[in-house]
Amino acid sequence: MVRKYDVAIIGGGVSGTALAYVLKNYTNVSKITIIEKEERLASVNSHRNMNSQTLHFGDIETNYSLEKAAAVKRAADMVKFFILKNDLKGESYTKYHKMVLAVGKNQASNLRERYKSFKKLFPENKLIEKAEIAKLEPKVVNGRDKGEELLAFWSPDGYTMDYQKLSEIFVKNSPGVDLNLKKRVLEIFKDGDGYELELDSGERVKSKVVIVTCGAHSLLFAKSLGYGKDLALFCIAGSFYFVPESLNGKVYTIQNDKLPFAAIHGDPDVHEKGKTRFGPTAKAVFMLERHRYKTIFEYIRSVGFSWRTAVSFFKINSDPVISTYILKNLLYDVPFIGRRLFLKEVRKVVPLTKLSELHYAKGYGGVRPQIVNNKTFSLDMGEAKLNGDNIIFNITPSPGASTCLQNAEDDTLKVMEFLGKGFKFDRKKFEKDLVCGPECWSDFSKEGNKEKSEGLKKKDRKSLVSEESVLSFG
């Protein structure tokens, strides 16, 4: 059996479902399908156990330049506006305050300088001293040397996200999208101006345009069609630890600019109530999906064997900063030793944490593929995307799920170019809903919907910080 579509999306994670939502609601593309190999949408890297559950705005990610932060903020605001309008029950998120913590004179000095250039982009954020930090996060301050300088860049917008739920809400709001679950794409064939997909169910799908959004597997598909031959994958797996509830919001530590990996931070888990989750650790793995060892063979195929690949990996691992970091993180997963070593990292945030309180989060942590460029023998940081002939391969967005709607906007523009005459993208409506946000929504300005408007605004402000505490920072 052969089914025909205008656009076929391979991969039903948050990136694939966001694209389906944008295509269905803001273009006139009618024949769209999502093909997902798992029984449920977003069961791999978009699952709540497989990522940091954070909506990144670029304010407390200290490795971002102002330009990068502005781009990330625009992307994250899209997700924020979407959930405020379409997730009134709050199934996909919980809101807290958040801060990035500077410890000691050097870090504090650097954070003050950063604040000067970032305060216009994030006017609601505040630079707070030790006394204010203690009001918000007493366990962050308790147990520290009284003379130790402590400073934080604080924000009221700390969203803990369940990206699997968000993916399901995207699809729920995209009626008419043909959803094919538990069907694996075995191979993609070029077929005239479009493509033919062979599924493990025996079905065949023909589509004018194909968008591959299946993480590390995307490069494998790309190489099968002759794209990305100079690329390989350096797959990093992140693990987490739980402690009893010790934070009221999200607390991040200062990022090491030389590392493309997240700094250790503590967050309330989106579903594990009464617990604070610390992580992620970062270790290199030779598989495309965490805890699925059969993907080792797929990883080997995606990397390939050449002298350039060998030189690239040797050069990357010869960097003392990266090699030391990777070795240290490998030890975090070692029984008995790992917990004791990781306790030192947790105590940088919550100094009085006890070893008996720290427990490895078994089954948590996904894989984030980093692109290895065999032309330059280096890691390519940030987004990894390959555009081909009526086909796009999304390997990894940057900084992850937070940019799913921005990535969908970019891909939609490209899809319109691929499909050509007769297909249109309603950019005005898209920007009104997802870029401008509530102030542009007509149902927020009408008097008859005032109660709904106020309810959403209150939900958006929901935080464990009292209004009095917030005002005192001014």
Single out the residue of 41, 71, 46, 19 nearest to residue 161, CA to CA.
46
Instruction: Name the residue with tokens 């630890």.
Output: 241
Amino acid at position 231, single letter: L
Q: For residue 352, what is the DSSP state?
A: T
**Cβ atoms < 10 Å from Cβ of 426:** 13
> Residues 169, 87: contact at Cβ < 8 Å?
yes
The H-assigned helical ranges of 53-102 are 66-86
Per-residue pLDDT at 449: 43
Q: What angle do CA 428, 119, 125 make, to 5 degrees?
A: 90
Per-residue pLDDT at 259: 72
CA distance 96 to 90: 13
pLDDT, tens digit, 9 for 90 and up, residues 341-393: 999 999 999 999 999 999 999 989 999 898 999 999 998 877 789 999 999 99
Per-residue pLDDT at 260: 64
Q: What angle do CA 221, 213, 289 make, to 5 degrees?
A: 75
pLDDT, tens digit, 9 for 90 and up, residues 21-80: 999 999 999 999 999 999 999 999 999 999 999 999 999 999 899 999 999 999 999 999
Single out the residue of 346, 322, 324, 323 nearest to residue 260, CA to CA.
322
Q: What angle do CA 218, 223, 228 make, to 5 degrees?
A: 85
The DSSP-derived string for 387-445 is E-SSEEEEEE-SSSGGGHHHHHHHHHHHHHHHH-TT--B-HHHHIIIIII-GGG-HHHH
pLDDT, tens digit, 9 for 90 and up, residues 140-152: 999 999 999 999 9
> Residues 237, 365: contact at Cβ < 8 Å?
yes
Amino acid at position 228, single letter: G
- Residues 24-37 as b/e (b if ≥16 CB within 10 A, e otherwise) read bbbbebeebbbbbb
Per-residue pLDDT at 462: 36
At residue 474 the predicted structure's pLDDT band, cuts being 50, 70 and 90, is very low
* 3-state class (DSSP) for residue 448: helix
* 3-state class (DSSP) for residue 128: strand
Mean pLDDT of the chain: 90
Spatial strand order of the sheet with 275-279 comes to: 126-129, 150-161, 93-103, 250-253, 265-268, 275-279, 241-244, 359-360
Single out the residue of 367, 169, 225, 168 nearest to residue 284, CA to CA.
367
CA distance 329 to 283: 6
**Torsions phi, psi of 321, nearest 5?**
-65, -50
Residues in a beta bridge with 232: 372
Q: Has residue 460 got a pLDDT over 60?
A: no
Single out the residue of 402, 440, 409, 416 nearest to residue 80, CA to CA.
402
pLDDT, tens digit, 9 for 90 and up, residues 308-350: 999 999 998 898 888 888 888 889 888 889 999 999 999 999 9
CA distance 71 to 13: 22
CA distance 442 to 445: 5
Per-residue pLDDT at 336: 87
CA distances 339 to 19, 241, 325, 329, 470, Å, are 40, 9, 16, 11, 36
CA distance 451 to 225: 54
- Mean pLDDT calculated for residue range 119-138: 97
Instruction: Name the residue with tokens 């693990």.
Output: 239
Q: How many CA atoms lie within 13 A of 40 on its CB side?
A: 13
CA distances 122 to 118, 150, 251, 285, 406, Å, are 6, 21, 17, 37, 19
CA distance 458 to 463: 10
In the chain, pLDDT over 70 holds for what percent of residues?
A: 93
